[in-house]
Amino acid sequence: KNQVEQSPQSLIILEGKNCTLQCNYTVSPFSNLRWYKQDTGRGPVSLTIMTFSENTKSNGRYTATLDADTKQSSLHITASQLSDSASYICVVSLSSASKIIFGSGTRLSIRP
């Protein structure tokens, strides 16, 4: 069964600290993996996209990694800011059909 699992479910860190969010998937055949940021009360917004051949992709303080062999991805946030408080959603696309699988997200709270 195609699944995307994220951990932890929620995370609280102090402003200025780093954190890493995890995404494991069993989707096959794999096309690409995106990380979305969803602020409270708003729709998700894409942060990064990685295809099978890419190991890492950065977007400012956000760095995503992909290990296609172990089917794991991580999103690393450096020097967190209060505005990073949001849900982060891992989304995997299949290459064989018009289908994408959403993870349930990690809710990140940054405390001053």
Partner 1 sequence: NAGVTQTPKFQVLKTGQSMTLQCAQDMNHNSMYWYRQDPGMGLRLIYYSASEGTTDKGEVPNGYNVSRLNKREFSLRLESAAPSQTSVYFCASSELPSRDEQYFGPGTRLTVT
Q: Which residues bind partner 1 (CB under 8 A)?
A: 4, 9, 31-32, 34, 41-46, 49, 89, 93-95, 97-105
- Give helix then strand counts, H and E, for the chain: 0, 11
CB nearer to partner 1: pick between 84 and 103: 103
Question: C-beta of 12: minimal distance to partner 1 in Å?
Answer: 17
CB nearer to partner 1: pick between 11 and 101: 101
Question: C-beta of 75: minimal distance to partner 1 in Å?
Answer: 16
Please give the Cα distance from 7 to 81 (Å, whole number).
20
